[in-house]
Structures are given as C-alpha cells and as structure tokens.
Amino acid sequence: MYRIVKKRVLNPTVTLMEVEAPAVARKCEPGQFIILRVDENGERIPLTIAAYDREKGTVTIIFQLVGATTEKLNHKEEGEYLQDFVGPLGKATETEGLKRVAVIGGGVGTAIAYPVAKKLHDDGCHVDLIVGFRNKDLIILKEEFEAASTNLIIGTDDGSYGKKALVTDLTVVSMNPIMIDGTGMCGGCRLSVGGETKFACVDGPEFDGHLVDFDEAMARGAMYRDFEMHAREETCNLFKQEVK
C-alpha cells in the first residue's frame, strides 16, 4: 500500500498527488511513468512521474479527471492509501551533454514537460520552457515552471494570459496511449512510428513527433471514450450516494 502524503487541486479538472513510494523514488528519472491501481478491484492506469524526492521517498503524479478511475483517485485524501504504484517504467529522457534546450508542453501534458525541464535546469542547461493552456484559469505549476527554466513563455488559446498561441510545433513527443501491463505484452499501447509498430511502455514513451501516426493514435485513444464517460458518471453517483 502506498500512502498519499500530499494532495493539491491545480484546477477544476487536474489534481496533483505526492505518494510515498521509496523504491520508485530511488530509481526514477524524468520522462518515465508509473502504473497504479486505486484499490484491489481497480483498473491499472499509467501516469507520468511529474516529480520525485529521493530523500523523502516520494513520487509526484498529476492527473486529469477523465474517467471512473481518475474520479476514484481524486476522492482519495492525504493519509489514505493506493493499492499499487509500480515503476519506474519506460525510458528516461536523454539529457546528458545538452547545453540549451526548448522544452514544450500543453495543458495537462505540461506535467511531462516539467520534470524534464527541471532536470536540465538543475544540470546547468539553458532551458527555454514553452507551455500552453486553453485559458488562464487552466494554468498549472506556474511557480514550478519559473524555477525550472531560464526563460518561461506561457501561451493561451484565447489570449487571456501571456501570448495568444498554440503549442503545436513539436519535435519530440511523450505519448500516453491505452496501457495495461506496462511490459509490452498486452499490446494496448502500440503506435505506428515511422511506419513501424512501437510500444509506448517499453520503446517510449518519447518518440520523434514527426514520425508518429497521430490519426491512428487519436482514433485508438478515443475507442473507449463513451465507456469512460459512462463509468465516471456511475462513479460520481456512487460517491454522492455514499455522502448522503
């Protein structure tokens, strides 16, 4: 069991949790992820490692409320426990020898950009951190971004904060497709990259964005959208009934 030591609501649909997981914290690096289960009957979901503290033995995750499992996770409070917290999984971001880097992220995907930017910045690299959100109310981790960059640029789709711009011209992307076991055996996270089949959990999660078949990835990612929405609604209703 893994204790939640900190919970912080970043915006109405995004939550940060710091979880006590010494074995994961000891080995994880930016770019990697974990797979968790909220309870013994729960499904496995992959989440990016947003931060870690080796001395405290904690790992920070950031998640968006999109389905039943993230809804259940969001109802957990500080001092409560998660059933499973497995990792680190995937390949770490290559940062060695870099002197000046642009790190780019959008929306909840900035949770992936942050640990990479922090590692580079801590290593003395000049980091231009470019992040985008739909509007100013959805901006997250602003203070953390400022501390992890040499130059921070924040854009919003509607121009309500910073520059009015979209963050779309990416070279390296971190993919987060459907995933079950995190070992490449289930095949759920397969992607087409440069005409070859890759598995995000073992070959990634980072790939050259110019080579990814995004049409295929988006279609696969939307396969269970209706089911997820229905399951989340049922979960919300269940919690409401328990509160009564």
pLDDT digits 0-9 by tens, 100-142: 888 888 888 788 888 889 999 988 888 888 888 888 888 888 8
**Whole-model pTM over 0.75:** no
Dig out the tokens for 141 from the structure: 């981790």
Please name the CATH architecture into which domain 2-89 falls: Beta Barrel (2.40)
If DSSP codes are grouped into helix, strand and coil, which group holds residue 222? Answer: coil
Dig out the tokens for 219 from the structure: 């279609």
Which H/E stretch holds residue 227? helix 225-243
Average pLDDT for residues 18-33, to the nearest whole number?
A: 93
Burial of 164 (0-12, 13-18, 19+ CB in 10 A): exposed
> Which residue has better confidence, 114 or 226?
114
Q: Lowest-pLDDT range, 53-62, 144-153, 232-241? A: 232-241
Burial of 62 (0-12, 13-18, 19+ CB in 10 A): buried
Burial of 13 (0-12, 13-18, 19+ CB in 10 A): middle
Burial of 97 (0-12, 13-18, 19+ CB in 10 A): exposed
- Fold adopted by 100-164: Rossmann fold (3.40.50)
Q: Which residues pair with 82 in a beta bridge?
A: 2
In the predicted structure, residue 167 carries a pLDDT above the cut 70 = no
Angstrom CA distances, 217 to 52, 183, 192, 193, 243, stand at 29, 19, 8, 10, 38
206 pLDDT tier (thresholds 50, 70, 90): confident
For position 209, what pLDDT does the model report?
78
Ranges of CATH 2.40.30.10 domains, the chain? 2-89
170 pLDDT tier (thresholds 50, 70, 90): very low
Residue 198 C-alpha from the chain's centroid:
20
Ranges of CATH 3.40.50.80 domains, the chain? 100-164
Do residues 235 and 68 make contact, with C-beta atoms less than 8 angstroms apart?
yes
Q: Which residue has the tokens 């890759």?
A: 198
Do residues 207 and 175 make contact, with C-beta atoms less than 8 angstroms apart?
yes
Distance (Å, rounded) from C-alpha 129 to C-alpha 152?
5
